Amino acid sequence: MEKKPQSSTEESSIFDKKVSRRNVLKTAGAGGVGMLIGASGIGGLLSLSDTTVTKGETIKDVIPFYGKHQAGITTETQNHLYFASLEVTAGSREELIQLFKDWTEAAAAMTEGKAVGDHSGNHFLPPKDTGEAAGLSPSNLTITFGVGPELFEKNGKDRFGLKGKKPKELKDLPKFPLDSLEDKWNGGDICIQACADDLQVSFHAIRNLVRIARGKAVIHWAQTGFQRTKQADSKKETPRNLFGFKDGTVNPNVQKETEMDQQVWIQSGDGADWLADGSYMVVRRVQMYIEVWDRSTLRDQENTFGRHRDSGAPLGHKNEFDKADYNKKDENGQPAIPTNAHMRLAHGDGKQQILRRAYSYADGMDPQTGSFDAGLLFICFQRNPEKQFIPMQQRLAKNDKLNEYTVHKGSAMFACLPGTQKGGYIGDTLFS
């Protein structure tokens, strides 16, 4: 691969990170100057000699944790994901509320690049923060919490007095044709999505939140995810999936508030008012048979997606963002975009939209077959899954040519909670 010369903007953004790193250490009280140099090496030295901290204005890689909505939904997709689905073991509602309060405090600190808890000098205690993110920039970390159907009711039991609050949309997805779901990748009482431009930063977040939850919740399943990094793709093109195709071209515009209110954010009056400003999240762990894909012809591959691999343009069109003409015929009089192509079926009549926020995953080898266990951790957000994801997936599961190359192994739905303001906690509208 060709190395592009570093642009000056890139340099300055890297510089900003050093500044924030220093600032972070100071505010976290994690150590003195010697510690800073030790922890960040030459970077630390640079930041000490060449820049002054100007009250946080230079920090460009912090996504505010507090707000009307949780971050990590309409936030520009970061490079890495660590996703955890948890099972709640807490015995009481009070314990659960305390857990969300503790999580809120820790998550808010971590997204600012701060350590979890105060630094204790007592050598007979384990450190409060696990430490692997010390000295690292906040890396645009977002931490997004969601609740699953069984938190409200499990085996007919109202576990935490929440049954009456359960939105009717929040339930296991229906079984779609060809689903090959495994319990170990399904469901969960609570999900935590930690996205950041650094995988160590995302892992640190999940690790510390799971640690805080010991005795109250345990991991049910977890998955790392990646995309091409921003550094590798300075032109910010649509990312490609592991089949080599651009993925997410038709995502709604997250900059347009009205569009987000229509498609993504639950509105008051939709059903569960406590969930207003939250969003329904669908997660599917889709294993891709990449070995099989790799031996299919380019024409087959393009017909499968309905797009040109190179440009990302719809078949029979020139540019990636050309509006697809689904009536267009090829030279043989056949539809240019085949009737079973992924993009045609996903589009349907164009009425359903979802906000896709998927990541690729690569988990070593599938021990059963010796093939790669790689694929897509499909994540999408929407205001109403019954009107958005479910009808789309029903069409896809029935006819999508892509099904020859993929298998759905995991499935979960969560209601991502509304955001909260300083002093409040994530989940406060659920428990109040």
Partner 1 sequence: MTTWKAPLAVLLSTSLLFGCSQSKEDASAEKEKESAPAKSVAASSKLDGVTAKYREYALGEIEAFVTSTEEFTNAVKSGDINKAKEVYGPARMHYERAEPIAEVFGDLDPKIDAREGDVPEKEWTGYHRIEKGLWIENTTKGYETYAEQLMKDVTLLRAKVETVEVTPELLITGAVDLLNEVSTSKVTGEEDRYSHTDLYDFAANVQGAEKIYQLLNPALKEKDEALSADIQKRFDNVYNLLNQHKKGDGYKLYTELTKPEVKQLSQAIDALAEPLSQIGIVTEES
Residues that bind partner 1 (CB under 8 A): 31-32, 34-35, 37-39, 41, 89, 121-126, 211, 214-215, 218
Q: Name the residue nearer to partner 1 (CB basis): 130 or 371.
A: 130
Rounded to a whole number of angstroms, the minimum distance from the CB of residue 154 to partner 1 is: 16
- Tokens 């997410």 belong to which residue? 248
Rounded to a whole number of angstroms, the minimum distance from the CB of residue 35 to partner 1 is: 5
Kindly report the backbone phi and psi dihedral angles of residue 334, in degrees, each rounded to the nearest multiple of 5, phi listed first. Answer: -90, 155
Q: Name the residue nearer to partner 1 (CB basis): 203 or 280.
A: 203
Strands of 135-278 (E only): list them.
Answer: 142-147, 190-196, 217-226
Rounded to a whole number of angstroms, the minimum distance from the CB of residue 130 to partner 1 is: 12
Rounded to a whole number of angstroms, the minimum distance from the CB of residue 219 to partner 1 is: 9
Secondary-structure percent of the chain, ordered helix, strand, coil, rounded to 5: 30, 20, 50
Rounded to a whole number of angstroms, the minimum distance from the CB of residue 184 to partner 1 is: 10
Rounded to a whole number of angstroms, the minimum distance from the CB of residue 79 to partner 1 is: 24
Helix 8-28 vs helix 33-50: crossing angle, to nearest 10:
140
Rounded to a whole number of angstroms, the minimum distance from the CB of residue 315 to partner 1 is: 48
Instruction: Provide DSSP, 269-290.
Output: TSS-GGGTT-EEEEEEEEEE-H
Q: Name the residue nearer to partner 1 (CB basis): 39 or 46.
A: 39
Q: Name the residue nearer to partner 1 (CB basis): 218 or 292.
A: 218
Rounded to a whole number of angstroms, the minimum distance from the CB of residue 186 to partner 1 is: 15
Q: How many Å apart are CA 366 and CA 368, to the nearest integer?
A: 5
Q: Name the residue nearer to partner 1 (CB basis): 90 or 196.
A: 90
Rounded to a whole number of angstroms, the minimum distance from the CB of residue 163 to partner 1 is: 25
- Tokens 């507090």 belong to which residue? 66
CA 151 to chain centre: 21
Q: Name the residue nearer to partner 1 (CB basis): 124 or 368.
A: 124
Nearest Cα neighbor of 44 from 61, 63, 23 is 23
Instruction: Provide DSSP, 322-381.
Output: SPP-TT-B-TTSSBSS-TT-HHHHHHTTS----EE--EEEEEEE-TTTSSEEEEEEEEEE
DSSP for residue 430 = H
Q: How many Å apart are CA 432 and CA 424, to the nearest integer?
A: 11
Q: Name the residue nearer to partner 1 (CB basis): 58 or 130.
A: 130
Nearest Cα neighbor of 319 from 252, 249, 241 is 249
Q: Name the residue nearer to partner 1 (CB basis): 3 or 124.
A: 124
Q: Name the residue nearer to partner 1 (CB basis): 135 or 410.
A: 135
Rg (the chain; Cα; Å):
23
Q: Name the residue nearer to partner 1 (CB basis): 30 or 264.
A: 30
The amino acid present at 419, given as its one-letter code, is G
Rounded to a whole number of angstroms, the minimum distance from the CB of residue 89 to partner 1 is: 7
Nearest Cα neighbor of 331 from 317, 344, 316 is 316
Q: How many Å apart are CA 392 and CA 346, to the nearest integer?
A: 6
Q: How many Å apart are CA 283 and CA 268, to the nearest integer?
A: 24
